[in-house]
Structures are given as structure tokens and as C-alpha cells.
Amino acid sequence: MLWRMDSPNLNMLTVTKKTGAEQFHADGQVLPFDVLGFWRWSSSDLVGNTMRGILAEYLVAYDLGVTASMRVEWDAYDLVTKQGLKVEVKSAAYLQSWHQRKLSPISFDIRPTTGWDAATNTTSAIRRRQAEVYVFALLHHQDKTTLDPLNVEQWEFFIVPALTLDNKMPNQKRISLTTLKQLNPVNAQFGEIAAVIGRLFTGQANE
């Protein structure tokens, strides 16, 4: 006899924002720890490479006014402006969480990729830069005793259209800060990113 099993729903999950108060449980029996505790345990180091990169994305998203939607892990690009521009955010820092003998050299990943679509679980066959504009976020502070990644004054942002990267270095995987500055990026502080991107893309200025 052949047993028939209905196909499970394997569509992309609809994720809702957590408040931190959500409790862990055992089939409905509430346990004495919550999501906020998990966040504190897993995400308190905002200087480490992983969380610093996510924090940089959040700062840019906040500046662009697009934090109502949530970050999608491994999507082809990081953000979409209100005008539909695709944005890639890359971060770097002189200081790291671990013991250092010297400041870290600054470079950013700019490699072309085969973009993955989270909604369809498909990958593009063409290797290219998926976004239309790159925001290079540098945590520029150089004193560990006063380092604070929550202080937006310790960040600066370099904004470059992807077309510039494609024309100048179509296949390059990384770019140093020195080389990046030779491309004449627009330097912005927090609070200026949306306006700069609006000026770079004529007719798509942020309101």
C-alpha cells in the first residue's frame, strides 16, 4: 500500500519583530528565560566582525527610514530605499574585540556575487554586484578605552555608486580605504546618508 503524505508548506517564513519579552517554553509550559536574555548572551559584543556589520546595516537602515521591515539573512543586497534603490552596506574598524598588537588595516569586501533571493530560494546565474549603491561604514575610533559603537560620532560613511566600482575595478574582491578614497566617494556622517544617496541618484531624492 502506498501512503500519501500531503506536502508540507516550505514557503519563506513570515517573521514578526520580537520585543525581547517572548518566553521560551516547553510545549506551552513557560520557562524562566526569554528572548532578551538570548540577545544579551549572543549579541552584546557590537565590536566583533559579525555584530558590527549588522549594526552598520541598522545605522544605515535607520538613516534611510527603512527599519519597519526586517533584515534578511544572506539576501542578495542589504537594504532597499523608499525609492527602490538597492543598497549594500560594508563595515570595517581599526579596533577589534580581541587583543591587538596594532590597529587593523581597513579594507572592504566588494566582490561580485551570484545573488540569492530569499523569497524564492533561487540564485542568479550572473555574477555581478547586486546593489546599485555601496555604503562603506567605518568605525573610525582608535582608542579602546573610549570605543563606543553606539556613538554615531565614531562612525563615518563613504558612499559610492556600484557603477563606479564596476567601471574602475569590475572583478576586484576587496578595496582598501586608500584606494576607496581615490574613487572620490561622498563622505557622510550619520544623519546625512539618505540625502547623499538622493543627490547621487538624480530624480530619486529622499523626501
The answer, yes or no, to whether residue 95 has pLDDT greater than 60, is yes
CA distance 54 to 8: 32
Mean pLDDT of 165-183: 96
State residue 30 phi and psi, 5-degree precision. Answer: -65, 135
The answer, yes or no, to whether residue 204 has pLDDT greater than 70, is no
Confidence grade of residue 7 (pLDDT, cut at 50, 70, 90) = low
What does the DSSP assignment read for the chain?
A: -PPP-PPP--SPP------S-PEEEETTEEEEEEHHHHHHHHH--SSSHHHHHHHHHHHHHHHHT--SS---TT-SSSEE-TT--EEEEEEEES--SS--SSPPPPEEE---B--EETTTTEE-SS-B---SEEEEEEE----TTT--TT-GGGEEEEEEEHHHHHHH-TT--EEEHHHHHHT-PEEE-TT-HHHHHHHHSTT----
The answer, yes or no, to whether residue 64 has pLDDT greater than 90, is yes
pTM of the model: 0.90
Tell me what percent of the residues of the chain surpass a pLDDT of 70: 94
Specify the range with the lowest mean pLDDT, choosing from 106-115, 121-130, 150-159: 121-130
Mean pLDDT of 191-196: 96
Q: Kindly calculate the radius of gyration of the chain based on its CA atoms and give it in whole angstroms.
A: 20
The pLDDT, as a whole number, for residue 5 is: 53
Confidence grade of residue 87 (pLDDT, cut at 50, 70, 90) = very high
Mean pLDDT of 88-113: 96
The answer, yes or no, to whether residue 1 has pLDDT greater than 50, is no
Cβ burial 87-104 (10 Å sphere, 16+ → b, else e) = bbbbbbbbbeeeeeeeee
The pLDDT, as a whole number, for residue 194 is: 96
The answer, yes or no, to whether residue 125 has pLDDT greater than 80, is no
The pLDDT, as a whole number, for residue 119 is: 73
What does the DSSP assignment read for 70-102?
A: ---TT-SSSEE-TT--EEEEEEEES--SS--SS
CA distance 33 to 21: 9
